Amino acid sequence: MFKNQPKGLFALALANTGERFGYYTMIAVFALFLRANFGLSAGTAGTIYSSFLMLVYFFPLIGGILADKFGFGKMVTTGILVMFTGYLLLSIPLGSGTVALVAMLAALVLIGFGTGLFKGNLQVMVGDLYNDPQFASKRDSGFSLFYMAINIGALFAPTAAIKIREWAISLGFDGNSAYHFSFAVACVSLIVSIAIYYSFRSWFKHVEGGHAKGEKAKVVDTLTPEQTKKRMVALFLVFAVVIFFWMSFHQNGLTLTYFADEFTARSASGIASMPFNVWNLVAVIAIVYALFSIFDKEATKKGKYIGLGVVVLACAFLIWQYTRLSGAIEISAPIFQHFNPFYVVALTPVSMAIFGALASKGKEPSAPRKIAYGMLVAAIAFGLMAFASIGLNTPEYQATVRGGVEETLVSPYWLISVYLILTFGELLLSPMGISFVSKVAPPKYKGMMMGMWFVATALGNFLVQVGGHLWGPLPLWVVWSVFLGVCVISAVFMFSMMKKLEAATE
């Protein structure tokens, strides 16, 4: 899995891990912060939340255009500095008045623009590592590993957000001010990211792009106008579909978080409480990777013994954790957001093994086909949410009876299961989509096309607010059915365009 990959991949992935840790620490509590600090309704908070996500994923288009002119490396560095300024502003507790609101909005713009300069261009650099013929066959697996690294940062973010906020409250800060300590984590993580980037820059400097002052960037493009058109059409068809995936998937930070806060049991005991400790999840991840090393045909005896030792130690740790359980633990809504990155990290080697086996038999689905399957899987996840919500109060009524006998709550394992299914869909769609763009985009438009991938994501994130506006008088099963429907329609459209999409990769 890690063999025969360009070493620049690991440096760029780790730099991205640090940045994503800070971002997801903020995102874990941001929607709740908006409602608690400014007293906003679910719909208004959803509009701000989705608008911010839109900025985060729209600005990579600008970042890509600038990078095509000035170089990817320069934009990555500039992006980190701009993001740092935004997170620093967001970290200052200014209360809940007009000044605080304006400062927060300004911080969001800075974070969005900085992310736009950083995120897409870093991924273009990863893709360009595989232009070398010796690595070309490893492109999809490389992006899967890169995506896994992103989620390592996201895995620890919800726990960090909750623990840091609790620590701030223990120091005497009020609940709203304590949120700002969670936001400050992003500043520290960006310092780590830029340190990693420059420490290992020699591994990937050849893909930073750029040119001397007064010279034009040199781009080798051997495509005919007809080939360029065919590729551009295929890319825009994919962009149109992924809008609706992200509209649905990023409900994890909005309506799925509302569901965790308002409709999910607020405590767990015994073995049911263990998944809410991030270190238990890390132990499970260690077991998964160790098992792969044990059964790897190319592994040495020493490697197999090390893998066996890791399995024994991780199992012993989990048993020890179980023996220490005492009474019920409180479940905080943001903690549910660590399940998606946990599944991504744990399942990446599984998905890579499956597709590797299919590839060896010449049966691996194309990237567009994987994306279409991902949409169907996402539809299944929201179908499960609709089923779990039958018979529950409406959000509007639940708010009036919270804590009373008429309150309706469900097991946290409904959400845990839904996150598992959504993650399968994400693994089929997101890393494969990025890989598809890096492979199909015409060389002279590569930065811009990666930016367009993020614009599609931005539009999807803007539509996330639909969930916030539906959250109120409607039955919950209706809310989830909306997302089920758009995922199914998108999948059907994708399959209908499959020949055209697959032809573009030939």
Model confidence at 216, pLDDT cuts 50, 70, 90, reads very low
**pLDDT tens track for 276-298:** 999 999 999 999 999 988 988 77
Instruction: State residue 219's pLDDT score.
Output: 54
Burial of 303 (0-12, 13-18, 19+ CB in 10 A): middle
Give 14's contacts (C-beta < 8 A, 6+ positions apart).
149, 196, 200
Model confidence at 111, pLDDT cuts 50, 70, 90, reads very high
| Main-chain dihedrals φ then ψ at residue 410, nearest 5 degrees | -125, 170
Structural contact between residues 375 and 494, judged by C-beta atoms closer than 8 angstroms: yes
Q: Is the pLDDT of residue 19 over 80?
A: yes
Q: Which amino acid is at 316?
A: A
| Overall average pLDDT of the 64-72 stretch | 83
| Chain centroid, CA 318 distance in Å | 27
Helix axes 72-90, 42-70, angle to 10 degrees: 150
Distance CA 102, CA 59 (A): 20
Instruction: State residue 214's pLDDT score.
Output: 42
In three state form, how does the secondary structure of 48-94 look? HHHHHHHHHHHHHHHHHHHHHHHCHHHHHHHHHHHHHHHHHHHCCCC
Structural contact between residues 245 and 456, judged by C-beta atoms closer than 8 angstroms: no
Structural contact between residues 49 and 31, judged by C-beta atoms closer than 8 angstroms: yes
| Overall average pLDDT of the 19-28 stretch | 88
Give 234's contacts (C-beta < 8 A, 6+ positions apart).
368, 440, 500, 501, 503, 504, 505
Dihedral of CA atoms 55, 58, 64, 70 in degrees, nearest 10, equals: -30
Q: Is the pLDDT of residue 212 over 70?
A: no
Structural contact between residues 149 and 142, judged by C-beta atoms closer than 8 angstroms: no
Half-sphere exposure of 344 (CA within 13 A, CB side): 28
Whole-model pTM: value is 0.80
Q: Is the pLDDT of residue 431 over 80?
A: no
The total number of residues shown for the chain amounts to 506
**pLDDT tens track for 134-193:** 888 888 778 878 888 888 888 888 888 888 888 888 888 887 888 888 888 889 999 999
Helix (H, G, I), strand (E, B), or coil: what is residue 328? strand
Structure token digits, residue 295? 């059964």
Model confidence at 386, pLDDT cuts 50, 70, 90, reads very high
Q: Is the pLDDT of residue 364 over 90?
A: no
Arithmetic mean of pLDDT over the chain: 87
Strand partners of residue 330: 267
Structural contact between residues 255 and 395, judged by C-beta atoms closer than 8 angstroms: no
Closest CA to 307 of 290, 292, 295: 290
Structural contact between residues 270 and 325, judged by C-beta atoms closer than 8 angstroms: yes
**pLDDT tens track for 24-39:** 888 888 888 898 889 8
Q: Which amino acid is at 470?
A: L
Termini Cα distance of the chain: 25
Q: Which residue has the higher pLDDT, 446 or 169?
A: 169
Structural contact between residues 423 and 343, judged by C-beta atoms closer than 8 angstroms: yes
Q: Is the pLDDT of residue 105 over 90?
A: yes
Instruction: State residue 285's pLDDT score.
Output: 94
Q: Angle at Cα 314 formed by Cα 309 and Cα 319, nearest 5°?
A: 125
Distance CA 506, CA 368 (A): 13
DSSP codes joined into one string, 81-139: HHHHHHHHHHTS---SSHHHHHHHHHHHHHHHHHHHHHHHHHHHHHHHHTTSTTTGGGH
Q: How many CB atoms lie within 10 A of CB 269?
A: 11
Helix (H, G, I), strand (E, B), or coil: what is residue 376? helix
> What percent of the chain clears pLDDT 70, i.e. is strictly above it?
97
